[in-house]
């Protein structure tokens, strides 16, 4: 893991491309890829409940979040479930700390990290907690969708989920979040969130008896083709999100990718 790379993928440009799934019910709308950041670690830790450290079994405190993904393979005129895709999730704990990061003294720990393979319906789910905040960033979760080793063609999409500020204010009145005082960065003040169309990645959550739940639909071109009116290029991205959320600088473009949010 590198924290020294200054490069970020630039945000994508929203297009008017819209494709429905084979059952005609789910719309796939273009969204940007966002920076991977400096805290990604390929733990290859396959599990759905990512709240605990796998070595000690100690579970992170926080409001439960049931987070789902539905991944679709996109072509010019269809959007069908994509099975056997790897979905990778990582985020900070209620204190704003990531696991397995040297500068945060958490090397060897793996709380709030995990991967799942999508099923025949393109679905993958995680049990985690509502993430905490840290200086210079709005509340967010990192995720990556990538091909498995046996895929016929390699693909990868990396982005971030955000949360409604009013909802975060309510969640943060509870322990253990309330012990930290007021966060210093709202969505409107976060320059990653301010990239074009990133507001479309605010996760729409439903309150449950145990916490909250929400699902993100992610549709992507796995063959490298793009729709005729899609302005995305197939450029890649890289790590390098400054810990203080300072302005990224890059001329690269994200791969053609589409998604939208739903609740469940």
State the pLDDT at residue 155.
87
**pLDDT tens profile 121-139:** 999 999 999 999 999 999 9
> Would you say 9 and 235 are in contact if contact means Cβ atoms under 8 Å apart?
yes
Going by DSSP bridges, is the β-strand pair 64-74/211-220 parallel, antiparallel, or unpaired?
Answer: parallel
Tokens of 147: 């091909």
Per the listing, tokens 């939208």 go with 260
Q: What fold characterizes domain 18-262?
A: Protocatechuate 3,4-Dioxygenase, subunit A (2.60.130)
Question: How does the average pLDDT of the chain come out, rounded?
Answer: 78
Global pTM value: 0.77
DSSP collapsed to 3 states, the chain:
CCCCCCCCCCCCCCCCCEEEECCCCCEEEECCCCCCCCCCCCCCCECCECCECCCCCCECCCCEEEEEEEEEEECCCCEEECCCCEEEEECCCCCCCCCCCHHHCCCCCCCCEEEEECCCCCEEEEEEECCCCCCCCCCEEEEEEECCCCCCCCCEEEEEEECCHHHHHHHCCCCCHHHHCCCCCCHHHCCCCCCCCHHHHECCCEECCCEEEEEEEEEECCCCCCCCCCCCCCCCCCCCCCCCCCCCCCCCCCCCEEEEEECC
State the pLDDT at residue 98.
98
Measured CA to CA, the distance from residue 123 to residue 50 in angstroms comes to 17
Q: Which residues of the chain have pLDDT under 50?
A: 1-18, 21, 25-26, 226-264
State the pLDDT at residue 152.
75
Domain ranges of the chain: 18-262
Tell me the CA distances in angstroms from 67 to 83, 123, 130, 263, one per residue in order: 18, 11, 10, 10
State the pLDDT at residue 166.
97
Per the listing, tokens 């605990």 go with 52
Measured CA to CA, the distance from residue 150 to residue 138 in angstroms comes to 36
- Bridge partners of 50, per DSSP, are none
State the pLDDT at residue 67.
98
């Amino acid at each position: 893991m590198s924290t020294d790379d200054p490069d970020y993928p630039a945000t994508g440009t929203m297009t008017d491309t819209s494709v429905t799934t084979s059952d005609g019910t789910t719309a796939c709308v273009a969204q940007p890829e966002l920076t991977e950041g400096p805290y990604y670690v390929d733990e290859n830790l396959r599990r759905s409940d990512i709240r605990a450290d796998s070595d000690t079994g100690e579970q992170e405190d926080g409001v439960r979040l049931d987070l789902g993904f539905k991944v679709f393979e996109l072509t010019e005129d269809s959007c069908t479930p994509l099975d056997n895709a790897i979905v990778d999730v990582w985020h900070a704990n209620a204190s704003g700390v990531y696991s397995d990061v040297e500068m945060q003294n958490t090397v060897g720990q793996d709380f709030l990290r995990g991967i799942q393979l999508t099923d025949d319906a393109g679905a993958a789910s995680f049990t985690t907690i509502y993430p905490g905040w840290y200086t210079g960033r709005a509340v967010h979760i990192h995720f990556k969708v990538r091909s498995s080793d046996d895929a016929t063609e390699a693909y990868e999409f990396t982005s971030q989920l955000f949360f409604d500020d009013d909802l975060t204010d309510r969640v943060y009145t509870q322990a253990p979040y309330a012990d930290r005082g007021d966060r210093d960065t709202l969505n409107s003040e976060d320059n990653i969130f301010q990239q074009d169309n990133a507001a479309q990645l605010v996760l729409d959550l439903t309150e449950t008896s145990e916490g909250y739940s929400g699902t993100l639909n992610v549709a992507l071109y796995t063959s490298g083709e793009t729709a005729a009116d899609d302005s995305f290029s197939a450029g890649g991205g890289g790590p390098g999100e400054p810990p203080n959320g300072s302005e990224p600088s890059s001329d690269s473009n994200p791969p053609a990718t589409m998604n939208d949010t739903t609740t469940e």
